[in-house]
Structure 1
Amino acid sequence: MTGQQIATPNPPPEPSSLPDYLKDLCVELNIKQALDDATLSAIRKYRRAAMYIAAAMIYLKENALLEKPLSRDDIKPRLLGHWGTCPGLILVYAHLNLAIRRHALDMIFVTGPGHGAPAILSCLWLESSLAHFLPKYSLDKKGLKNLISGFSVPGGFPSHINAETPGAIHEGGELGYALSVSFGAAFDNPDLIVACVVGDGEAESGPTATAWHGYKYLDPAESGAVLPIVHVNGFKISERTIYGCMDDKELVALFSGYGYQVRFVEDLENIDLDLFASIEWAVGEIRKIQKAAREGSPIVKPRWPVLILRTPKGWTGPKELDGKFIEGSFASHQVPLTAPKKNDEQFARLKEWLEQYEIHDLITEAGKPIAEILSIIPEDHTKRMGTRKETYDCYQPLDLPDWNELTVKKGTQESCMEAVGKYLLKVIEKNPKTFRIFSPDELESNKLSAVLQEPNSGRNFQWDIASRAKGGRVIEILSEHTCQGMMQGYTLTGRTALFPSYEAFLGIIHTMCVQYSKFVKMARETVWREDIPSINYLETSTWARQEHNGFSHQNPSFIGAVLNLKASIARVYLPPDANCFLSTIAHCLRARHYVNLMVGSKQPTPVFLSPEEADRHCIAGASIWEFASVDKGIDPDVVLVGIGVEVTFEVIAAAALLRKLCPELRVRVVNVTDLMVLSVSESHPHSLSSEDFEMLFGSDVPIHFNYHGYPIELKGLLFGRKGLDRVSVEGYREEGTTTTPFDMMLCNHVSRFHVAAAAVRGGSLGNPAVQVRAHELISGLMHDVQKARDYAVEHGADPENTYDTPKF
């Protein structure tokens, strides 16, 4: 034979006696009887049944229980799925069921290798969780046939765990996030244990590597626990895994450094006894840590348990084919036998594989699991991992303070973020157990430091004596991936979270956001899933005001990432001042099912609207700003549109400048705070109708957009609107450096001078009085551009009064 293999018996033999190391552990844990013969037999039969069902799901379209000899006609025409991780997942699920039953645990299951869906679905069928939500998968022959024949075919379960899977809060399609999601679910759920299987392929990802630090942010007095189970089966799709090539000493050193107690589960001949004792140990350690904290004598830097489970990849599947190993090698990762419908040898191997489980001994004539199998499943269906309320019906709406109590006087200047920070502190005070902020180390820089005020809030970093055990609502860790994963777990278990970040670095979690939005889309289409809070991003330290940073910190691309999400989910807001921002964040924290992105400035900027005006403006999503328009915007020659704090300021400054330079030009100023209103009619729930669009922007006059993001995004939103030949757009041009704020406006053609020039150019098309002066005016404005740039270079600052509120 050629190739690599982890040698294993198939199936594992019955142990003759309990090994000494397991006896010692049982004595240490005060377990009178580690696992009686009846329970051990039940566990093994459960595993055989689940492994058969998982394998059958990949291969069979008919003859689900092998009630007649297998034929080629029974095999699906397209074979989809992943077998390699399934036996290990089933082993873990079976033993967690037993632990729940023994100790009445509150436990949910997070599957890092989400491609192991057949394993989880088979266990969900055995425990009746599928039937609980989906009667077509009833606990009988018909239900089992529907499950097996319907897997990975149109109308059935997909090949990955997703929102249609009971008990799931994580898909695992893009590997790396299971552990951080698990910690998010455990926060503020004091009785919950989140069992998280981390595959050894997934463990190679950066997000997983950082997520191991999650326990340093979890207070055992107020939160639950995560039980990580690292499944080391040695191979990825076609390569050995790093963990699979590390010996026990290396893994102990690694996880001890992270702060864990390590226990290996690797005795294949006694795997059930080994895993049973190990889970008993882990639960005991968790309870010990929690008890100490809850009795007022917390263990400083407690060492939480982690299990390292070593089993062969594709365990109990075909051992070899064509002289190459399958079991214990990468060849078992997906479909071990790829052509059994056509190839005689493969057909014979498939028949042998499925028959070895002797499914007819495990399923009754009626198609129900035998009593032994059911004996290890929690009797109370609310305790079963597939029907835990935390995973599908757990929304806890926030008690939100009135944002009007924190508004700012119109005509003054205020930082949007400072106003928001004060509001968020009030949110924390009213919701001490259902709201958290997950942020990189940027809250002070982003002017949100109000949320760090003690005793009401503060950080929740348990390894720092300054913030340990104080109930802080802020998790600051310099890993956007970990913040995102924790926010997902917290949100999908019913609580509300906020992720504030430098604008430039939210792109780091672009694909995580996309994966999450797919889960939410499917959750909304799954009738038995109830409401979940929206996920909320607060994007600040924008490219427009990065005075102390350079080109690397100038990147608004995350707006485009959200725009590309499903319209029913995506929401992008660019509130123009502090009062509008307060209204917006209150709305987003109330909303359900959305991905909300709020973009704003941390620097003081003018407050253009009163609280009442701001509320009306935010409800409308866009409105004409009469104070900055000529004759309140009636009968305009040109429409100027600001979208974003700083670029809207430049539109207002341009309108004021034009009053002096070209009083004959009739300007209408519009501000858009809800970006989605611009999308073509009916393409988004917020999109303006054609009639409403024309009421705001006119039907035939030129429109110039001054946009915070990339111009191509806005052009994409507007595509399909009538009369786009009258539209011009400026935005971030990917030009920047460490320079003055106004020079950033000049570099990207969004300054007041560029806006004024665009207004003259557009207005001249319909106003002869403007047309005769247009060239002169535009030339003068471009000259002002150069003078302003020269001033910035010479003085290292912008001219005095550049950011004074324009007067009309």
Structure 2
Amino acid sequence: MTDNKAEIEAIRPFGLARSTVQGEPLTKEEIQKYNDFFKASLYLSLGMIYLRENPLLREPLKAEHIKARQLGHFGSAPGQIFTYMHFNRLIKKYDLDALFISGPGHGAPAVLSQAYLEGTYSEVYPEKTEDPEGMQVFFKQFSFPGGIGSHATPETPGSIHEGGELGYSVSHAFGTVFDHPNLISLTMVGDGEAETGPLATAWHSTKFLNPICDGAVLPVLHLNGYKINNPTLLARITHKELEQLFLGYGWQPYFVEGDDIDTMHQAMAATLEHCVQEIKKFQKQARDSGVPFRPRWPMIVLRTPKGWTAPRQINGHYLEGFWRSHQVPITDAKTNPASLKTLEEWMRSYEPDRIFGKEGRISAELKELCPTGLSRMSANPVANGGQLTKPLKMPDFRDYAIKVDKAGAVNEGAMQNFAKFLRDIVKNNPTNFRIWGPDETESNKLGAVYEAGKKAWLGEYFEEDADGGNLSPFGRVMEMLSEHTCEGWLEGYLLTGRHGFLNSYEPFIHVIDSMVNQHCKWLEKCLEVEWRAKVPSLNILLTAVVWRQDHNGFTHQDPGFLDVVANKSPEVVRIYLPPDGNCLLSVMDHCFRSSNYVNVIVADKQNHLQFLTMEQAVEHCTKGIGIWPQFSTDAGVEPDLVMASCGDVSTHESLAAIDLLLQHFPELKIRCVNVVDMFKLISHTDHPHGLTDAEWVALFTDNTPIIFNFHSYPWLVHRLTYKRPGTMNIHVRGKAPPLVPLLTWGSLIPIHH
């Protein structure tokens, strides 16, 4: 806290523009056009929140014109609109390939208004025409069932990031520009969002950005000062401290601050242009010389009032520049005539009659401020990445088969063998496939990939790094000890049409539970949006599993990520637990070729007994579940016991148990069943991979005790099989919760002899 009044006033977002970059690139006529475009966008933003009828206020505003329930957020919209429309000028001037990523939560009014004014929205949704009738539909469907959300959801043209869960805008943005050398991702970072851990680590992404082969991220930290009900931290520290923070991160910050519209237009236009010129200068230097380097990439700190252009006060309370403008600024417009009048005066201050004219659309002169065709950020195909996706050039996974002459007689590392297959995928796809992980690729026995692509690194080098460091500015393995950042990079990369996968320790993957949840929801919603093309699947390979934590304690034991994934829509999630190395190859080949899924694969990295030849593995993985006759003694008759397993270590244990049982009871008829695809257990009515009941009974019977040895928590198997015939016969052995005692084997094995 400071007592210096000058420092306090310096961080208040009011008055004439104050900016690091000086210049007046706009004429008076251009400033007037930008003022009008700003007003049009702000009017649309308020219209989405409030109006169900009378979209252009061509009659006095009445209570019945107001939505029964007003939803949406206005607070961050002005700053986002301001940034977006000024960047459009540079897209036109420099023929830029650009994407807009909206980080603030509920930022949809800003980007939807731009998509509508650019014409993209009416092209994608023909009933939302640029006239009074179409505008009314546009307003009504905002935050309405069957319409479009108040986040930048998949229905929003130009969006890959909905901002619903804060903290991922910067990591997603960097994911979009890796291997997209001409792309600039203009990224609005909310100052509330900037308080999250994932966002704080994502600022370090510049240490992995190669100006030769990658594009650039231009972050705009939007300091509007408040979250829902509290000041934001970065808006309440001194100018010097804020500048030092970003200099310390390795960025060059440029400030644009104030609320005087005319001077702010000039300041923002000059600053954005300076940043674009800096980006192009750095890229030209690196590309002309062929020598990659890590510059201080530019970023902008935009300080404007929250709810900029709203009334400063209403009913004795602050609105503009205060947290009350965060969501619905005037909450009682439908029931309070005075508030309704205030709202009408506010909306009319944007001059809808003049700006939208008789036809109910902006003039051709204003429309010229927007780029055209695919140059529009709302129409950039990068934001519909499936349109740009090229299939991976895949080597034949069968060429990497582990030789298995006799089941259970070969002891080899499935992960080390898979690494050779992975190495050649990297080699065959040098510009559209990357590997991601939080410093665990070598530990996970995948080190062979470095023969084809080293670790991306634009930081400093020490002499000793040459001794096995595997660092390169052109690396294809992205490692940072932040699961959030790695996952965010990967999501941005996939959503813009490229391929990759994340490898991580099973116990630590819970760090990104919520990110995977969000991605699953995004994919699920995309399936309902007909113009969205499918994107490559998000593949997560988990190893260092619970059953082989030889040198780690209880803190490293949690296989519950599978429970998280199993809760998601069956349309978008898959879980595979290959029992040996050849099955791992078959499963990974399938996952890399798939699209619009989250595939979770669990496989141990230590050496294991190998059971199936490649031909057997392909057949087994194709079915997803099957009887292993080589370990069964029922010979096609009704078994006394079904021994089932899912997971490599679990399969070893189950086979060992079969061996022990047969030593003591050699006439026992045992059926060995192995599961690769977890969702085979669920009913076919609940999941497209599920077995029918007839298929279930053919494998498990409906009257035989089943001992199911499972990799994760037992309750997941019980949940998936609760509808099955004979479900009471299933006894699951897995990772029991600490307070649930495990029963002994003997208490469950039925003895009929």
- The TM tier, using the shorter chain, reads over 0.9
Task: Tell me which of 711, 720, 740 is aligned to 2:723.
Answer: 720
Task: Tell me which of 337, 351, 362 is aligned to 2:344.
Answer: 351
Describe the superposition over 1:661-705 as per-residue Cα deviations: whole angstroms up to 9, x where unpaired: 111211000000000000123201100000111111112111111
Which one-letter code corresponds to 1:401 in the other structure? P
Task: Tell me which of 426, 431, 434 is aligned to 1:433.
Answer: 431
Which residue in the other structure is 1:148 paired with? 139
**1:109 and 2:94 aligned:** no
Which residue in the other structure is 1:743 paired with? none
Describe the superposition over 1:75-125 as per-residue Cα deviations: whole angstroms up to 9, x where unpaired: 111010101001111101111111111111000011001402111111110
Which residue in the other structure is 2:402 paired with? 408
Which one-letter code corresponds to 1:173 in the other structure? G
Task: Tell me which of 418, 423, 431 is aligned to 2:416.
Answer: 418
**1:325 and 2:323 aligned:** no
**1:458 and 2:454 aligned:** yes
User: Whole-Å Cα distance in 1 between the matches of residues 626 and 193 of structure 2?
Assistant: 48
Please report how far the alpha carbon of residue 265 of structure 1 lies from its aligned counterpart in structure 2 after TM superposition.
Answer: 0.7
Please report how far the alpha carbon of residue 140 of structure 1 lies from its aligned counterpart in structure 2 after TM superposition.
Answer: 2.1
**1:64 and 2:67 aligned:** no
Describe the superposition over 1:582-623 as per-residue Cα deviations: whole angstroms up to 9, x where unpaired: 000010000010000000100100110000000000000001
Please report how far the alpha carbon of residue 137 of structure 1 lies from its aligned counterpart in structure 2 after TM superposition.
Answer: 1.5
**1:492 and 2:490 aligned:** no
Task: Tell me which of 664, 669, 673 is aligned to 2:672.
Answer: 669
**1:622 and 2:618 aligned:** no
Task: Tell me which of 396, 409, 425 is aligned to 2:390.
Answer: 396
Please report how far the alpha carbon of residue 470 of structure 1 lies from its aligned counterpart in structure 2 after TM superposition.
Answer: 4.5
Q: Which 10-residue stretch deviates more, 625-634 or 724-733?
A: 625-634
Describe the superposition over 1:238-271 as per-residue Cα deviations: whole angstroms up to 9, x where unpaired: 0000011012111110000010111001143311
**1:176 and 2:162 aligned:** no
Instruction: Tell me if the contact between 1:417 and 1:601 (Cα under 8 Å) persists in the aligned partners.
Output: yes
Task: Tell me which of 370, 373, 391 is aligned to 2:363.
Answer: 370
User: Whole-Å Cα distance in 2 between the matches of residues 106 and 412 of structure 1?
Assistant: 53
**1:697 and 2:704 aligned:** no
Instruction: Tell me if the contact between 1:289 and 1:299 (Cα under 8 Å) persists in the aligned partners.
Output: no
Distance 1:464 1:586, change over 3 A: farther
Which residue in the other structure is 2:3 paired with? none
Which residue in the other structure is 1:90 paired with? 81
Task: Tell me which of 46, 49, 52 is aligned to 1:55.
Answer: 46
Which residue in the other structure is 2:304 paired with? 311
Q: Which 10-residue stretch deviates more, 490-499 or 627-636?
A: 627-636
Please report how far the alpha carbon of residue 385 of structure 1 lies from its aligned counterpart in structure 2 after TM superposition.
Answer: 0.5
Which one-letter code corresponds to 1:504 in the other structure? P
Which residue in the other structure is 1:334 paired with? 327
User: Whole-Å Cα distance in 2 between the matches of residues 136 and 532 of structure 1?
Assistant: 27
User: Whole-Å Cα distance in 2 between the matches of residues 763 and 314 of structure 1?
Assistant: 70
Task: Tell me which of 592, 600, 604 is aligned to 1:601.
Answer: 604
**1:255 and 2:246 aligned:** yes
Which residue in the other structure is 1:570 paired with? 573
Unaligned runs of 5+ in 2: 1-7
User: Whole-Å Cα distance in 2 between the matches of residues 663 and 587 of structure 1?
Assistant: 39
Which residue in the other structure is 1:646 paired with? 649
Which one-letter code corresponds to 1:450 in the other structure? A
Describe the superposition over 1:638-667 as per-residue Cα deviations: whole angstroms up to 9, x where unpaired: 101011110110111111122211112110
Please report how far the alpha carbon of residue 517 of structure 1 lies from its aligned counterpart in structure 2 after TM superposition.
Answer: 0.8
Instruction: Tell me if the contact between 1:503 and 1:556 (Cα under 8 Å) persists in the aligned partners.
Output: yes
User: Whole-Å Cα distance in 2 between the matches of residues 148 and 471 of structure 1?
Assistant: 47
Which residue in the other structure is 1:444 paired with? 442
User: Whole-Å Cα distance in 2 between the matches of residues 141 and 60 of structure 1?
Assistant: 12
**1:481 and 2:474 aligned:** no
Which one-letter code corresponds to 1:592 in the other structure? S
Describe the superposition over 1:355-414 as per-residue Cα deviations: whole angstroms up to 9, x where unpaired: 1000111113222211232121013x1100111111112222211111111110113122
Instruction: Tell me if the contact between 1:440 and 1:476 (Cα under 8 Å) persists in the aligned partners.
Output: yes
User: Whole-Å Cα distance in 1 between the matches of residues 736 and 472 of structure 2?
Assistant: 47
Instruction: Tell me if the contact between 1:624 and 1:633 (Cα under 8 Å) persists in the aligned partners.
Output: no
Please report how far the alpha carbon of residue 577 of structure 1 lies from its aligned counterpart in structure 2 after TM superposition.
Answer: 0.2
Which residue in the other structure is 1:803 paired with? none
Distance 1:625 1:632, change over 3 A: farther
Which residue in the other structure is 2:285 paired with? 292
Task: Tell me which of 374, 381, 386 is aligned to 1:382.
Answer: 374
Distance 1:469 1:645, change over 3 A: closer
Which one-letter code corresponds to 1:417 in the other structure? M
Alignment of structure 1 residues 673-692 onto 2, 5 Å: 673-692=676-695
Describe the superposition over 1:48-95 as per-residue Cα deviations: whole angstroms up to 9, x where unpaired: 000001011101110001111111111111010101001111101111
Which residue in the other structure is 1:529 paired with? 532
User: Whole-Å Cα distance in 2 between the matches of residues 337 and 61 of structure 1?
Assistant: 16
**1:40 and 2:31 aligned:** yes
Task: Tell me which of 52, 73, 79 is aligned to 2:64.
Answer: 73
Which one-letter code corresponds to 2:540 in the other structure? Y
Instruction: Tell me if the contact between 1:622 and 1:674 (Cα under 8 Å) persists in the aligned partners.
Output: yes
Q: Matched residues, percent identical?
A: 41
User: Whole-Å Cα distance in 2 between the matches of residues 522 and 498 of structure 1?
Assistant: 22
SS, match of residue 268 in structure 1: coil
Which residue in the other structure is 1:199 paired with? 190
Instruction: Tell me if the contact between 2:172 and 2:491 (Cα under 8 Å) persists in the aligned partners.
Output: yes
Which one-letter code corresponds to 1:634 in the other structure? V
The two structures, once aligned, show a CA RMSD in angstroms of 1.9
- Computing the radius of gyration over CA atoms, which structure comes out larger, 1 or 2? 1
Instruction: Tell me if the contact between 2:437 and 2:478 (Cα under 8 Å) persists in the aligned partners.
Output: yes
Instruction: Tell me if the contact between 1:731 and 1:749 (Cα under 8 Å) persists in the aligned partners.
Output: no
SS, match of residue 718 in structure 2: helix
SS, match of residue 390 in structure 1: helix
Instruction: Tell me if the contact between 1:45 and 1:372 (Cα under 8 Å) persists in the aligned partners.
Output: no
Task: Tell me which of 224, 239, 245 is aligned to 1:233.
Answer: 224
User: Whole-Å Cα distance in 1 between the matches of residues 525 and 290 of structure 2?
Assistant: 44
Which one-letter code corresponds to 1:69 in the other structure? P
Q: Which 10-residue stretch deviates more, 694-703 or 605-614?
A: 694-703
Distance 1:298 1:148, change over 3 A: same
Which one-letter code corresponds to 2:36 in the other structure? K
Which residue in the other structure is 2:516 paired with? 513
Distance 1:324 1:712, change over 3 A: same
User: Whole-Å Cα distance in 1 between the matches of residues 736 and 251 of structure 2?
Assistant: 48
Which one-letter code corresponds to 2:281 in the other structure? K
TM-score, L = length of structure 2: 0.94
Please report how far the alpha carbon of residue 735 of structure 1 lies from its aligned counterpart in structure 2 after TM superposition.
Answer: 5.3
User: Whole-Å Cα distance in 1 between the matches of residues 732 and 176 of structure 2?
Assistant: 43
Q: Which 10-residue stretch deviates more, 202-211 or 130-139?
A: 130-139
User: Whole-Å Cα distance in 1 between the matches of residues 77 and 552 of structure 2?
Assistant: 48
Which residue in the other structure is 1:281 paired with? 274
Which one-letter code corresponds to 1:588 in the other structure? C
SS, match of residue 115 in structure 1: coil
Instruction: Tell me if the contact between 1:289 and 1:298 (Cα under 8 Å) persists in the aligned partners.
Output: no
Please report how far the alpha carbon of residue 39 of structure 1 lies from its aligned counterpart in structure 2 after TM superposition.
Answer: 2.1
SS, match of residue 601 in structure 2: strand
Please report how far the alpha carbon of residue 323 of structure 1 lies from its aligned counterpart in structure 2 after TM superposition.
Answer: 1.4
SS, match of residue 295 in structure 1: helix
SS, match of residue 716 in structure 2: helix
User: Whole-Å Cα distance in 2 between the matches of residues 470 and 62 of structure 1?
Assistant: 56
Please report how far the alpha carbon of residue 534 of structure 1 lies from its aligned counterpart in structure 2 after TM superposition.
Answer: 0.5
User: Whole-Å Cα distance in 2 between the matches of residues 651 and 693 of structure 1?
Assistant: 20
Instruction: Tell me if the contact between 2:13 and 2:303 (Cα under 8 Å) persists in the aligned partners.
Output: no
SS, match of residue 148 in structure 2: coil
Describe the superposition over 1:687-724 as per-residue Cα deviations: whole angstroms up to 9, x where unpaired: 00001111111121111110000011111111111221
TM-score, L = length of structure 1: 0.88
SS, match of residue 436 in structure 2: strand
Which residue in the other structure is 1:100 paired with? 91
User: Whole-Å Cα distance in 2 between the matches of residues 323 and 142 of structure 1?
Assistant: 37
Instruction: Tell me if the contact between 1:39 and 1:376 (Cα under 8 Å) persists in the aligned partners.
Output: no
